[in-house]
Structure 1
């Protein structure tokens, strides 16, 4: 089993690379999706978050208002650390469960936004960083997700810097241009990973 850590800052295109690797046969374990699962209504995770931040972080239907919670924690590092202390162990347990279900010869890609911030690189055989300049990422998020530039910059500031991420990389996938360019890069990346898995 080849364990691949895949990361990239918000707006870098990491999720797009992740989807394309899955289409080529990778077993993708998406930390963000798992993080949403462990705080769904009725979970222990959501109960603990409400106990810490109050019921005002819930939507009318009882689900977590991630935008409201994000605006609280991304502006306060202590509150972010408290949230992470609840969510990360729950995510880690679910990741271990999914990993145990993968075939022995699988290429398992762990899509982990905060890989660098949480010093997780040593857990993987290979670390891939999807990279784009900060200005490119800001433009994408404003255009594609409708975020304000100020909100994007606050989130960028809460994440590792581009330089820190690149230092952790074994493989860098540049993603400044259109999606068509990304396809060829993912083909080359998949060939590289397949060779490493056989080595």
Structure 2
């Protein structure tokens, strides 16, 4: 069973996914993390990104994330182009991951743009993680050492929480850790009911 877990930037979906990962019969595929790895290791992606964004897409350290972020978070079309280059390779990688972990009760598929890139269609159930707007902004400013303006730019390119919640089977509000842990336990129990 493939369970999608998503949420807007700063919602804490990775933190929530790690709580699910604590159950021994569950594994998590972190799409953002795997995409970053693939963008540095896949020759297919590298060639396409250089063709689309120029030689500055990579520097001596690998992917030039700051350069790309500066372009794609201000231009929706460029963001779409980036996703169209990276997503097919991530999907192939995910398919192999699912095959390798088919012994698990379920695989949690953590993806920030689950709905935006159509990945919700391959999921059996979907969990959306939300948090208050200002909390999300502060989390991202602290985590990425960025500005409020940059965070708001990124948020504009994602679906609203309301739109995501309407298409989800479960919603977790990530504000109080004890409540979140209780929600994770309840959802896990429902997903593993025989």
Equivalent residue, structure 2, for 1:189: 184
Equivalent residue, structure 2, for 1:53: 53
Equivalent residue, structure 2, for 1:110: 109
Rounded Cα–Cα distance in structure 1 between residues aligned with 2:65 and 2:158: 17
CA deviation digits over 1:45-95, x for unaligned, max 9?
11210121111122233x011121011011112211211111110000000
Point out where structure 1 has 5 or more consecutive residues left out of the alignment. Answer: none
Equivalent residue, structure 2, for 1:128: 127
Equivalent residues, number: 193
When the two structures are superposed, what TM-score results if normalisation uses the length of structure 2? 0.91
Rounded Cα–Cα distance in structure 2 between residues aligned with 1:3 and 1:57: 33
- What's the secondary structure of 1:147's corresponding residue? coil
- What's the secondary structure of 2:59's corresponding residue? coil
Rounded Cα–Cα distance in structure 2 between residues aligned with 1:162 and 1:125: 20
Equivalent residue, structure 2, for 1:100: 99
How far did 1:124 drift?
1.4
Kindly report the root-mean-square deviation, in angstroms, between the aligned alpha carbons of the 2 structures.
Answer: 1.7
Rounded Cα–Cα distance in structure 1 between residues aligned with 2:161 and 2:190: 28
- What's the secondary structure of 1:198's corresponding residue? coil
Rounded Cα–Cα distance in structure 2 between residues aligned with 1:152 and 1:55: 26
Matched, 1:84 2:79: no
When the two structures are superposed, what TM-score results if normalisation uses the length of structure 1? 0.89
Equivalent residue, structure 2, for 1:165: 164
How far did 1:39 drift?
1.2
How far did 1:126 drift?
1.4
Point out where structure 2 has 5 or more consecutive residues left out of the alignment. Answer: none
Rounded Cα–Cα distance in structure 1 between residues aligned with 2:18 and 2:72: 28
Rounded Cα–Cα distance in structure 2 between residues aligned with 1:44 and 1:152: 29
CA deviation digits over 1:149-172, x for unaligned, max 9?
000000000111121111122111
Matched, 1:13 2:8: no
